[in-house]
Amino acid sequence: MQLIGDGSLRPRLEEFIADKGLINRASFLGNQLDVTSLLEESHVFVLLSDWEGLPISIIEAMRAGLPINATNVGGVNELISDLINRDDNDLLKKRL
């Protein structure tokens, strides 16, 4: 699993992954200027945000032909119709 981006919740996510014993399965890549090759090597795109405008990252994932799982926030519904409510962990697990 590759995690692209950065933010205030990254330390909590790193701790969660360590607590679950998944350190060997996750890579924190931080902010990236060119994600095209990373997306081309991926199998799925996930954007779990509390807030978004119109996310360019989803457009990039669409261009790479990836299945997309995203939360129903902000302008995401302008791009994706079958979204996950932010608190619906069961649906997220099922889709992943």
Output the DSSP codes for 5-24: ---TTHHHHHHHHHHTT-GG
Quick one: 62 and 15 in the same domain? no
On the question of pLDDT at 7 being above 90, the answer is no
pLDDT, tens digit, 9 for 90 and up, residues 27-77: 999 999 889 999 999 999 999 888 899 999 999 999 999 999 999 999 999
- 63 within some domain: yes
The boundaries of the domain holding residue 77 are 44-96
* Band (9; pLDDT cuts 50, 70, 90): confident
58 and 88 share one domain: yes
Same domain for 20 and 50, yes or no, is: no
* Nearest of 78, 63, 67, 71 to residue 45 by alpha carbon: 67
Asked if residue 58 and residue 11 are part of one domain, the reply reads no
